[in-house]
Amino acid sequence: MTIDVLTLFPDMIEPVFKHSIIGRAQEKGSVTINVHDFREFSVDKHKSVDDTPYGGGAGMVLRVEPVVRALRALEGHEQALKILMTPQGIPYTQSRAQTLSKNDHLIILCGHYEGYDERIRDYFDVEISIGDYVLTGGEIAAMAVIDSLVRLIPGVLSNAQSHEDDSFSMSLLEYPQYTKPRIFEGKSVPEVLLSGHHENINIWRKEEALKRTQKRRPDLYEKYLKKSEN
């Protein structure tokens, strides 16, 4: 997979993906992440990328020309799925991460300033929001999207790190996990996990996952019940 990110702050993104699982995924060739500064595509002498809104009002608006010029300079841009990061987008979920992880080429635009010139939207296929809050820019949102979908590309996670048990992939939150020591400040690991009885362990984990989901995320719990009925 190739991911091209269009941003005004490449330094916010590049160092983050040098590390850990996403860093290794790039070394292995499972994904190539290219980060581009679209200010370079501004043609005026100040390299401006934003301007005041027509009709007046506070704040600046991202201009359409540098974005479209940057987009068209990317190899394969016609076939790529083009994503705009915005709090006005569709809510991002694990199931969307799964769908996006199957694409060969994604282009992601991170906005800044007060908003986009509305015409920018015509050049993108999908608008994504990572939650109902407003970030100072789309970079952190784009990084969350990239991180969550790259780990789903086959071969990126080892079997040991498998995402089969992820919270949300079954629409349940994950069961509680423990590691050494057996007792810490009087708090012990549940007996069943030390029993070596795999069937009982699986039953306990399923029950705990159900309890936890019902308590913390009744919305997911209801969805899960409905899905299991079918």
Site membership for ligand ADE, residue 59 (CB under 6 A): no
Which span (40-48, 49-57, 81-89, 181-189) binds ligand ADE, by CB under 6 A? 81-89
Tally of CB atoms within 10 A around 3? 24
The set of catalytic residues is 87, 114, 151, 166
Which span (25-33, 135-143, 156-164, 174-182) binds ligand ADE, by CB under 6 A? 135-143
d(CA 105, CA 28): 17
- Min dist. Cβ of residue 141 to ligand ADE (A): 3
Query: 114 or 208, CB closer to ligand ADE?
Result: 114
Chosen residue from 42, 101, 129, 148 binding ligand ADE by CB under 6 A: 129
- Here the tokens at position 57 are 């009002």
Please report, as a single letter, which amino acid is at residue 152: L
Which residues, numbered 138-167, are part of the site for ligand ADE (CB under 6 A)?
138, 141
Which span (47-55, 80-88, 156-164, 188-196) binds ligand ADE, by CB under 6 A? 80-88
- Here the tokens at position 94 are 């694990």
Residue with tokens 């029993």: 195
- Min dist. Cβ of residue 53 to ligand ADE (A): 18
3-state secondary structure the chain: CEEEEEECCHHHHCCHHHCHHHHHHHHHCCCEEEEEEHHHHCCCCCCCCEECCCCCCCCCEECHHHHHHHHHCCCCCCCCEEEEEEEEEEECCHHHHHHHCCCCEEEEEECCCCEECHHHHHHCCEEEECCCCCCCCCHHHHHHHHHHHHCCCCCCCCHHHCCCCCCCCCCCCCCCCCCCCCEECCEECCHHHHCCCHHHHHHHHHHHHHHHHHHHCHHHHHHHHHHHHC
Site membership for ligand ADE, residue 172 (CB under 6 A): no
Which span (19-27, 40-48, 51-59, 130-138) binds ligand ADE, by CB under 6 A? 130-138
Residue 46, strand partner residues: none
Chosen residue from 85, 107, 172, 173 binding ligand ADE by CB under 6 A: 85
Please give the size of the binding site for ligand ADE, defined by CB under 6 A.
Answer: 11
Site membership for ligand ADE, residue 7 (CB under 6 A): no
- Min dist. Cβ of residue 8 to ligand ADE (A): 13
Chosen residue from 12, 21, 73, 87 binding ligand ADE by CB under 6 A: 87
User: Which residues contribute to the site for ligand ADE (CB under 6 A)?
Assistant: 85-87, 129-131, 133-135, 138, 141
